[in-house]
Structure 1
Amino acid sequence: MRRHGWAGNIPVDDDEAVSRIVAAARASIDARGTVSVSEVATELGITRQTVYRYFPTLDALLTGTALSAVGGFLDRLAQDLASITDPAEAVVEGIAYTLEQLPHDRYLGLVMQPGKASAFAAGVTSDVAISFGRSILERLNVDWAGAGFSGQSLDELVEFMLRTLQSFILDPGGPDRHRGELRAFLHRWVAPAVELHHRSGFPEQA
């Protein structure tokens, strides 16, 4: 880590540097609803190049900032979907709930804004995205292993959910579906795939 800048208060390691950058970005978003690399650099007394060392693009900074703040979203999801134990219903509600929360969550909206070719949408199968998807499933009261989802099959279920979210985020156009209509659509086309695996008990792939 470079030993200059930071207004004379040098981070002890790269983890602290990342934490400070993300904190500055969140403060900017909270105050103005937006953030730029220049604003973060100025706030921390560093150059833009230093910010880019940890976050190569603005989208990378937005993604890191958003994911640092998903705890509140996941807590709400767990509370609102606490009664669901069926895996197919959980997947449908997990997708629908996430889509419905986007307009109301300032951080998730930065990287999952409908119609925006965001870092999340472009890297839907990245480690960061998969981790986010797993967090959604793990907060639900479903016995995934008992339902036949573990190891690679659980990873593939996460990928399936993320790719479905991706399609709605990149192209939110008609027909315009909300609440009951959205869930009915997902129950018709997404739920059967989950139920088939659950009922068939497909073995884990090598």
Structure 2
Amino acid sequence: MFQLGKTIVSEEIIGNDFVCNLSACKGACCVKGDAGAPLEVAETQILKDIFPKVKPFLRKEGLKAIAEQGVFTTNDFGEHETPLINGEDCAYVIYDRKGTALCGIEEAYNQGAITWKKPVSCHLYPIRVKDYTEFSAVNYEKWHICDPACALGEELQVPVYKFVKQALIRKFGEDWYNELEVLASKT
């Protein structure tokens, strides 16, 4: 771990390789697990505001889950998350013709219906950020469903932090990312 501004960063984001391999995993990170995607407080209002424009991109099962649970949920720890369909798929998941899970929010963004790409936690994946009072912890979340992404990243020699460059800049700013690159070059 090392400190960068008001963040404590795991060296694993520099030392591990990663490139999403959707043809292998089929977007499993959006349909596996026991919770929805983490949301920042400001993102809950964004979801409320954009939902009418995202709605046409979603599946009927997702729309039903959102109608029942809301555009976001709050867990027992007071953390906000995307709702789930029957405890599995994120309610915002859509599928392409090959059965790959994609983000309906991101599809609305790609089609020009909205200007917000998707929750930053999704954009950052496989990096997870936990905010504390004095700092944010920036960690690499290794999950067996991403083994094909690790293999592809190793083959292409792309470290985790480079794979999620745009998301890290979105979250922490360009200066922070440039400092990260300098530190990474020294390891």
Greater helix content: 1
* TM-score for the superposition, normalised by structure 1: 0.24
Greater strand content: 2
Determine which structure has greater relative contact order: mean sequence separation of CA pairs < 8 Å that are 6+ residues apart, divided by chain length. 2
* TM-score for the superposition, normalised by structure 2: 0.26
Who wins on radius of gyration, i.e. which is larger?
1
